[in-house]
Each structure stands twice: as C-alpha cells, then as structure tokens.
Structure 1
Amino acid sequence: MFTILIVDDEAEIRDGLASLNWPTIGYEIAGVGAHGLEALALMEERPVDVILTDIRMPFMDGIQLLGAIKEKYPFVKVIILSGYDDFEYAKQALKLGASDYLLKPTIIEDLFAIFKELHRKMINEKQIEYRQATLERKERLLSRMLRVNFLKELLAGMMSQDDIEQSAAEAEFILSQESDYQVSILSLDRLRNGVSGVGKKEFRLIVFSLDNMLSELWEAKDLGYHYVDPETARCYFIGRDIDSRDEMLKLKKQLGACMGLWQSTFTIGIGVSVTNIEQVHVSYRSAELALASSGEGNRLCIGEYVDVDNRTGISEPVMEDSPSPKGAHYIIEEAKKYVRQNYSKNVTLKKVAEHVHVTPNYLSALFKETGENYIQFLTVLRIEQAKTLLKDPGNKIYEVVEMVGYSDPAYFSATFKKFVGKTPLEYRLSMEQ
C-alpha cells in the first residue's frame, strides 16, 4: 500500500478525510498535520508517498509546503485541496509540480477517482524512484552529519589547522583566510531551564521547524552555517563576513512571526568577531558568556573578548536594554545556586555546566578563580549539610549519608573526618554532651 499524509488546519476536515476507507483503493494513512511545518516534521519520521494538503494554513501554507517537498522529497506526490476563491493558487500549484487539485467541498467519488489513477501511475514509477530517493537521502544524511560534527569540533577549539582544512572539505564548509567569523547562539526563553514540561512530540517539532527555517533564513542566504542541538533546541551560528548584530535582529523578527508555534521569545548571544577560522572558539565562548548573562531573556546580548587560553581578563558582555551586565560572576553564582539545590544527587561538573550553558572546562576555571575547585565546593557544602542533619538524633547516620549525596558510608566517614576532625558518630556524640 501507498501512504498518505493529510494536511489541513481545520481539524474537522483533516480527521474526516483520514476516516475514509482508504485501504479499499490501496492507501493507508501515514499521519495528519495542521500546517506545512508539522507535515515536514512528520515526513522526517516515516516515509510518505502522497500528500493531500489544503492551501491556506498558518506557519507554512500549501504552496510553500509543495516547494519544500519538491526540493527535499521530489518523488512524493502532492494533491491540492482548494476553495473556489483559491483557484488561482491551485493553478500555481500545478505549475510547481502538484499532481492534481480538488475543489472544496470535496466529493468522495471524485477524490477516490483521482487517487486510483495516481495509484496506477505510482506502481509503475515506485521501484526506480525508491532506489534513487534512498540513495539521495543517505547522501544528505551523511553530508549533514559531517557538517554538524565539524561545526561542533570547530566551536570547541579542539582542531589543528590541518584538521580544520581536511574536515571542512569533507563537510563542504567553504574556508577563506581573508574572512571574519562571528559566532551567535540563539535560545528559546521557554527552554532556558531545560526541556522538562515540553512533550516529546512538541519538542521534536520545535527542533525540526527551527532547523528547517534557519536553513532558509541563514544558510540559503549565504550568511554562514548553523546547527540546532537536538537535546536543547539551542541554535548555533557561524557568520562569515557579516554584521551579526543586524542579521540577528532580522532573524529574531522573522522567527517571531511564528511565535504561536514556538510559544516563546528568543534570547541571542553574539560573540566577538575573529579574523581566522582557528579562533572561532574564542567567538563561541564570548557568545556563550553573553547568553548566560542575559538575565530575564528576550534580548540581543553582545559579548566581548574572552581569553580562553589563560582565563584572564574576562570582559563583561554588553546587553541591549540592560545597564548592569553580570558576566562570569553571574555564571558562578548560578552554578553554586544549582549545586545547593541538588547536592543530594549525582551533581557532576558536566551537569552544572550544562545548566549554566558553558563548557565543563570553562566552569572549572571559573571556580578556581574563586579560590577553590568544584569538588572542594561540593564537598564542603555536603559536609556542612551533614553536620546539620547529624544534630537531629532522628536521622540515622546511614540515612544522612544518602541525604547529602554519598553512596559509600565508609568514604563519607573518611571525608567527614578529614574536614571535621571527627567521625560522624564522634561528632554526633559530641553534640549530645
């Protein structure tokens, strides 16, 4: 059987169409969507042979969807549903490659007649199309994977010049020794504290639609390169020879047109401009710091130079509409606040760094600047909490061990004695005297 995806912003229409007896003419329903972006996201998850779509829809209409399908899935057939007033759009759709169109209200016999004829044609085409589409899809996925991996390593600053040149060629990343590069990071304010509370289906749609739109609004305009983190929906940009502030303001406005889809405002951190590709990680750290210091969000934050090698001379980012940027001090305070709230769990440096949106190495360096490393801060906090809990005779010692985040009582006892000078039992007895 061939699969159909039905797309219409009116739930009554799309559910009604989906309820028809499609198997009798050789089709099954692959899914339903309320607009073009949702349809494209669904097509990423499972193969679709035919799309039956309305023309007028929010976020991405039928004509835009048709254009995107012909570019990414050239062998997928599209049937257009059109109201009488939209007949000119239907003719435009046929010119763009739609297989056929139907006027609303739809007569079921006419609908099935069109799909029966389409079924006959697809039987003849299917085998050749499938082989070619599969090969092209594999090539796209491989190219995309190489591009994303290269961008991640480039931002991390862990590549030699030779590695950069080789990986850039494999990832089809155009290098230029005479270009300026500038990193920007875009974050949905709704997701600043993580993705808990957002359903998996909704989150996948957010990630997919962001990535899809940014391909058109950023890379297609030759502004540079981008990728969207599938775990956080955070967007990373490498701009080349552009005024990133102006371009990000434009991008923020364009994405804002889909506020109903994101259900969130955006905050953007912009790093310093660097003059060679090897220094892109400096711009990235600058953007990272600016974003982490953005306060209430929904702002454009301009970072300043960060010495990522020596960790000295860290500058404060400049934020629009913000008279008092907080910089590295803000990051440390947020990190310590998070640890105080989670010391009873397995709170690793990596988890804390993810919470404040910096790398573990950077956070470790910031802790050292306060006079103690991360492990010292966490251990002292846990021991002080243990001392308080031990004063209550209702708390068993083995319970206190777990309550302050330790799993090994012997290790806890040795650590406690090192810091307090007494074992947990000796300390409790001394409190009772």
Structure 2
Amino acid sequence: MSLYSVMLVDDEEEVIQIIMKKLDWASMGFQIVGYAHNGAEALELAEECQPDVVMTDIKMPYMDGLELSRRLKERYPSIRIIIFSGFDEFEYAKEAIRIEVEEYILKPIDAGELQELFGRIKKSLDKEIDEKRNIDKLQEYYMESLPLLQENFFTSLFEGRVPAEEIDKYLVNYQIHLCGPLYLVTILHLSSSDVKAYSNPFLMTVSVKKLAEEQLVPKYGSRTLIYLGDIIVISQLETADQVAGYTDMMDEFCRQAKRVCGIRVTAGVGQLCSSVEELKLSYQGARNAVSYRALYGNNRAINIAEIEPKEKSEETWEEEALHRIMKQIRLGDKSALEGEVKDCLKKFTENGSSLQKYRLFVMELIAEIMRFGNKNQLDMEELFRKESDIYQMVFQPESFEELCEWLIGVGEKVQEMLSSERQNNTKSFVTRAVEYVRENYADQSISIETVCRTLGVSAAYFSTVFKKETGKTFIGYLTDYRMEAAEELLLTTDDKTYMIAEKVGYGDPNYFSYAFKKKYGVSPSKYRVEKMKVSG
C-alpha cells in the first residue's frame, strides 16, 4: 500500500527539521509531503498536497494552530490533526478536543512517544480502509441496503417506464421518502482499469457506494443504487444556489474515494429538476456529464449544466443514432464521429428504410447541428454557406459515399469550431476572473468562493480551468498580483509598509512582510531602500 502523507507546520525551521529527522517515516508507513511556517501558509499548502495527517504547533504568526485545525476540519473532515505545543494549558487542550484533533502533545517531543502516536494513527487509517474493503461486511451491507423493490422502481423511472400518475403510489408503497423540493442525479463512474485490479470488482463498487452514503445522506438526504455498473446518487436540495457547493463536495468525494478505496471515480452531475418524474432527465444529463471525462479528466466531478445545455432523452434507433453522432461532435473525436456516421447510414440501407425516412433523418441531423451550433454561439453561416448544398445532399446525393463524406466533413467542421469556441470561452472565463482580481485585490475577504459566486460556477470547475490557462492556482495568482501592486507602491509612493499592506489586501502588516519577503527575498522596507540606491 502507498505511504500516508504528513504535513508539518511550525514557525521554527529548526523544529521542523528535527521532527523530520527524528523518525524513519517510510518504515512507519508515512511520508512528509510538505511543511509550512504558519497557519495561513499551511492552509494554502493543504489545498495542493491533500495530506492525511497534519502536525502543527499552536503559537504561530498570522494564523495559530487551533484556527488552522478548525479550518482544515471544515474543509477535510477525515483529516487527522496532531497539535504539539510548549503550553500545558487546559483551555488549549479543551479547544483541541472540541475540534476533534487526534492528539495534543507537549514539547520537547520525545521520539518514542511520536513513533507510538503515528503507529496508532496508521492503525486507525488502515482500519478505515480495511473496513471499506472487508468483503464479508460489504456483502452483508449490500444485501441489507438494496431492497429489490426500491431498486426496480428507480431503474424503471430512469428508463421512463413508470407512468407519471403512479409515481406517488410507488413512493408510498416502497417507503421512499423524497421531499425535495429540488432534486438532481449524480452518476459515480469507477475507472474500469482500477476496478479490474481487484479479485471481486463488484464489491469494490459497493465499497465506493458505502462511502458515498456516509458523505451524502446526512447533508442531502441522498439515495444510492447500483445500475449498469455505475453508482447512482439521487440528492435533494433546498435551493438552486446549492448546486455549486454540491458539485464541489462531489469533487472532494472523488479524491477521497481514490485515497480510501484506491479507485478513480468520475462524478457526473445532472441538471436540477423540481419533480420525481423529471429524475429521468437529470439521470440522462448525469450520464452525458460522465462521458465528458475524456475532455476534462476522471477522478473529479463534472456538472453537465456547466458544460452543455439540456438535451432530451432518445427513443427510436434513429434518435439514438442521432444522439451518438452529436455526442462525438461534442467530444471532438474525429475517428469515432466517422464511424458513427458510417454505421448509421449503413443501417438505413440494411433495414430497407424508405427514402422519405432516410431524408428525414439527414434533415433532422442537420437541424440538430444548427441548433447545437446556435446554442454554442458557432457561426452557422460559415458552416452552411450555400443552402443549395444542403438541398443537394438531402434530396439528390450522387452516391452513398458522397453523402457520408459530406456529413463527416460537416461534423468535423463543427468539432473544430466548437473546440475554438471552447478555448475562447475558457479564456473569457479566466479573463473575467483576472479582471475580478485586478478590481478587488485590495479586498481582504477575496477568495475562490467569492470569485465563484460572482462567476456562477463551482470552485472545482473554476480551479481546474484557471490553473490550466494560467499555470497558477487562484490563490497563487492573487498573491503574485498583490505583491506586484505592493512593489509599485513601494517605489512610487512614500506610504508606510502597514498602509501598503492594507491597500493590497492584507489586514496583518506582519504577514504582508512575510509574504513579500518570501517572493522577493527581502523585507518591503529593505527592498525600497535597495531600489532607491540603484535608481539614485
């Protein structure tokens, strides 16, 4: 098994180095993934390295260990926290207990005590994973938690086989309590390559399902079932504003599933709906979202509402074929698109379909492409320059091969236009975030959450896009921008350091000086003096 990760936090470099050298971490099953010298810095670092254990001092500048522990527990409930301190005070210990830290130990730290402590933590972490993977317990849990009638009801609902007028009757008879008022469906798709590594893949699916219930049932009254190899989660929300937070929680869940169960999970989040009857539409949206893992990556949450408009469910084989072709256009796979077009047109000839039906399908495909293009702000006049070309291909094609080649060409052109538009949208998205920083960097309360509320997206989606486009995390970009603004103020004004700190968004002048020195290597005042000497 891989080593558990540990992050150290202390304002004294010597203490950190001593702790790192005191123990043979690897032999105990741990590795040091990073260290910080204050709580504020540690909070940023935790976002990057996602540690299993944090060992922190209490008395530190800018943010003490107790405040750091509170914030870490809020963001990462399963994290283990060890507080070490030179202060043997009851109030500190009482607060540590309230925060639910793993241990409170006093300096100087004894190597034997520390080794014993991490031995207990490792057993606790191992037990947590073993419980998730215990086949006997999982088998018993599965038999008890999936009543067949409830499962059949939901699968029939997703397939559109439950009459609307009978839904309430089934909910009562099968004791299914869905109060809403809003609902959405999430599909948890397990990486097939990860699942194959286990002797009983099905029970690994059950393991992830159990973990999902532990996380989601208390907060969202979620119901779960296994369907077509995936885990389906039906969640209840109070307001539409909760969707972004829900998506972020699912994104964190995917990382936890990888850490605890050893499985990469993609969470496809469907569109919000206001009735149980509409769950089938949210389910279809969630399935479409999962298919986007080829573009956005797995082991994360993908919200369909953030990447494409709603689409209706499909019924006939022609409509299914139309859906598959449009799916490949969206995903940008040219070879898959070519295969779908050829298979579809070939099926028309093999089935002996009428010429009228054949023409109708081609017209519907073109209409669907145009609707899709308009929704995504593509230039349809550029795509179909001559209406006569459409008429010629629908009603008077020279051959099957010619029509097939024309449709593939149209699809590939849409793929190229869509890729270009997505890049433009992403750049516009990042540009708005950058503009927000430039206009609000002096606001001390600015954070990823405030930016995401302004942009109307989840923090998980925002973080992925922003770092991909800029090469920096949002906090890293904000810090760099504030430092550049501070540098200019130092060289162009006579303002005191504490005044400049406030102007660039730092309420604590000491932490501002710390951050400035971390970037430029010297304090703000010394930086000003050195630059003035050079210019003088």
Q: Normalising to structure 2: TM-score of the pair?
A: 0.33
Structure ranking higher in helix proportion: 2
TM-score by length of 1: 0.40
